[in-house]
Amino acid sequence: MDESKILQVTSAIKKFGGLVAVNDVSLHLNKGEILGLIGPNGAGKTTLFNGIAGADRFTSGKVEFMGTDITNMSAHKRCRLGISRTFQITKPFASLTVLQNVSVGALFGSNKKINQLKTAEIDRSEAEAEKILEFLGLSSKKDLPAEKLNVSERKRLELCRALATKPKLLLTDEVVAGLNPSEVGGMMESLQEINRTGISILMIEHVMKAVMGISHRIVVLNFGEMIAEGSPDEVRNNPDVILAYLGRRK
């Protein structure tokens, strides 16, 4: 695997009975890059995501992360290796505070059972969580139960929890879905700030302003197959992409 690449997916296929949800997809993500993954509903984006994150296994194919074959590795081991993800539908620990939610992510890296954690480790995780909350503008909400947050704040909390595991690769699944234009702009800035810290990002997104605005490169899926790859401008003007989204060529 090329050392400039943090992620390499080769000939990924995922079948659900007779349905081929991902059909022979190969893609890579360079270190320090933001790669957008787009396509119409049902294109296979989340299925591909799940295969990379370890939530599901590909029927065949290979996944490599930083030169390590992780094809058959469990999701929690991939996380400890440096892959973290957000979910389209946020599900924080509703009764825990915002700070406690993020602290859980920071504690995950200790690889210890709850009853084995020492006070110093808990204090350290809370300190790390405080820094992440400040970084993403949630410090003022840290003592609120997560259930009290609005949609935009929950999206940011989801990002905070993912960052607390100290990822090298962050997978985001429609992180701006449901946000108003101002909130979308703020989230785009936050993702760019995260990327500037050295974290590579692979993002699924339907909001074209967001994905076209911050991605260095974009991959397009349709009916489980890759139909285009290139810069935002190249993808925007690709006739196959226009056909997939609009049902007609430009």
Question: Do 32 and 169 touch, CB atoms closer than 8 A?
Answer: no
User: What is the predicted pLDDT for the residue at 109?
Assistant: 56
pLDDT band at 85 (very low <50, low <70, confident <90, very high): very high
What are the backbone angles phi and psi of residue 150, rounded to the nearest 5°?
Answer: -85, 180
The residue ranges of DSSP E strands in the chain, in sequence order, are 5-16, 19-30, 34-38, 60-65, 68-69, 83-85, 169-173, 200-204, 217-222, 225-230
User: What is the predicted pLDDT for the residue at 136?
Assistant: 96
Which residues neighbour 186 within 8 Å (Cβ) at sequence distance 6 or greater? 137, 152
User: What is the predicted pLDDT for the residue at 117?
Assistant: 60
Report pLDDT digits (tens) over 163-178: 999 999 999 999 999 9
As a whole number of angstroms, the distance between CA 63 and CA 74 comes to 12
Given a cut of 80, whether residue 122 has pLDDT beyond it is no
Q: Which of 59-68, 90-99, 101-110, 168-177 has the lowest mean pLDDT?
A: 101-110
* Residues forming a β-bridge with 97: 145
Report pLDDT digits (tens) over 4-23: 899 999 999 999 999 999 99
User: What is the predicted pLDDT for the residue at 1?
Assistant: 65
Average pLDDT score over residue span 240-245? 88
User: What is the predicted pLDDT for the residue at 91?
Assistant: 87
Percent of the chain having pLDDT more than 70? 92
pLDDT band at 112 (very low <50, low <70, confident <90, very high): low
Given a cut of 80, whether residue 249 has pLDDT beyond it is no
As a whole number of angstroms, the distance between CA 60 and CA 25 comes to 11
Report pLDDT digits (tens) over 37-78: 999 988 999 999 999 999 999 999 999 999 999 999 999 999
Given a cut of 70, whether residue 130 has pLDDT beyond it is yes
**Domains with residue ranges and CATH for the chain:** 5-246 (3.40.50.300)
